[in-house]
């Protein structure tokens, strides 16, 4: 199935969307990005984009950090994305990658006096952590402190180092600690523990990304399961003694964690609360739960584009 990109203000085949070797963002990580999931509902023959607006609001904030003035409003970005997805006509789960980047072909470390550009493309992408339950390790790479709390490409080098270290050591995912030794995040996910019937997740302090799946999980746990989430510092040892553990992220959805640093979490199987939340989440993102349809933007047929 051919894929397309919105690039230089028009929709083109993805193979034609190219940037020059001197592009500033390529050299200095001066770009802001998002990852958005679109989920296929086969019964309805419909694609639902999940929390589209929230992702573009976060992109807008990331752009502010980099002094980038996007030439489009959040509404316009949503519309561009819906039209792109319609053109791609995928009948499977896929991923949408918007990127706002310093596009000047000009070198020199800075963020001022540079042009910026916006592109977005979509491509089929099944499960990110392609496993039913993850084996994780605590990374030797620490989560960077006092960096902007925004989704900027340059910040991802630590995550990339941590992820590869984990994979090369035979694990599925890395869990990074802050420089103070508290649990921070996975390389591309937030982390939750189940302890005594409650959810516990690292407090959104320091530089943790404001997580859209994290917020979704907290809301669904409360509304649908009557389970509160405690946001606080989490010690490394608490990882080993938790009843259950799971990761949340747009790419990873809700992924159970079976093992951390060679210790089984609970009995090493998917925990009961994790299982329930996973099920609720997968219904919600596919547009199968009418209560949460406002989070889902339907794309195909002449469904009204959610302007909310
Ligand atoms: N942490 C990091 C470092 C990430 O890249 C992501 C993915 N955006 C997440 C957490 C999860 O955030 P979200 O649920 O908003 O996708």
Q: What is the DSSP string of 104-165?
A: -B--SS-SSS--EEEEEEEEE---SS-SSSEEEEE-SSPPPSS--SS-BGGGHHHHHHHHHH
| pLDDT tens figures, 11-46 | 999 999 999 999 999 999 999 999 999 999 999 999
Among 33-47, 60-74, 125-139, 287-301, whose mean pLDDT is lowest? 125-139
The pair of three-digit structure tokens given for residue 104, joined into one six-digit string: 């000047």
- Ligand 1 atom closest to the CA of 214, numbered from 1: 14
Distance 106 CA to ligand 1 centre (A): 30
Instruction: Determine the Cα–Cα distance for residues 65 and 27; give it in Å rounded to an integer.
Output: 18
Answer whether 98 contacts ligand 1 (Cβ < 6 A): no
**Catalytic residue (one of 76, 87, 102, 151):** 151
Token pair, residue 117, equals 């550009």
The confidence band for 305, taking pLDDT boundaries of 50, 70 and 90, is very low
Residue 293: pLDDT over 80: yes
For tokens 């990873």, name the residue.
Answer: 252
Question: Per-residue pLDDT tens for 184-203?
Answer: 999 999 999 999 999 999 99
């Amino acid at each position: 199935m051919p894929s397309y990109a919105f690039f230089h203000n028009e929709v083109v085949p993805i193979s034609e969307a190219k940037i020059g070797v001197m592009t500033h963002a390529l050299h200095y990580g001066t770009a802001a990005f998002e990852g958005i999931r679109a989920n296929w509902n086969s019964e309805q023959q419909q694609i639902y984009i999940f929390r589209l607006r929230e992702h573009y609001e976060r992109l807008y904030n990331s752009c502010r950090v980099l002094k980038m003035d996007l030439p489009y409003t959040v509404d316009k970005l949503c519309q561009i994305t819906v039209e792109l997805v319609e053109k791609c006509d995928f009948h499977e789960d896929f991923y949408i990658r918007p990127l706002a980047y310093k596009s000047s072909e000009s070198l020199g470390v800075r963020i001022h006096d540079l042009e910026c550009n916006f592109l977005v493309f979509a491509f089929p992408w099944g499960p990110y952590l392609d496993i039913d339950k993850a084996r994780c390790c605590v990374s030797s790479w620490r989560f960077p402190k006092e960096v902007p709390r925004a989704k900027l490409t340059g910040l991802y080098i630590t995550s990339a180092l941590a992820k590869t270290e984990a994979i090369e050591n035979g694990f599925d995912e890395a869990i990074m600690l802050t420089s103070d030794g508290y649990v921070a995040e996975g390389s591309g996910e937030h982390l939750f523990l189940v302890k005594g019937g409650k959810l516990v997740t690292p407090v959104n302090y320091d530089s943790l990304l404001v997580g859209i799946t994290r917020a979704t999980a907290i809301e669904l746990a409360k509304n649908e399961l009557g389970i509160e989430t405690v946001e606080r510092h989490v010690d490394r040892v608490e990882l080993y003694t938790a009843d259950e553990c799971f990761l949340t992220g747009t790419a990873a959805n809700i992924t159970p964690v079976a093992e951390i640093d060679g210790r089984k979490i609970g009995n090493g199987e998917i925990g009961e609360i994790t299982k329930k939340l996973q099920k609720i989440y997968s219904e919600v993102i596919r547009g199968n739960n009418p209560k949460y349809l406002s989070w889902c933007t339907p794309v195909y047929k002449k469904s009204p584009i959610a302007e909310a």
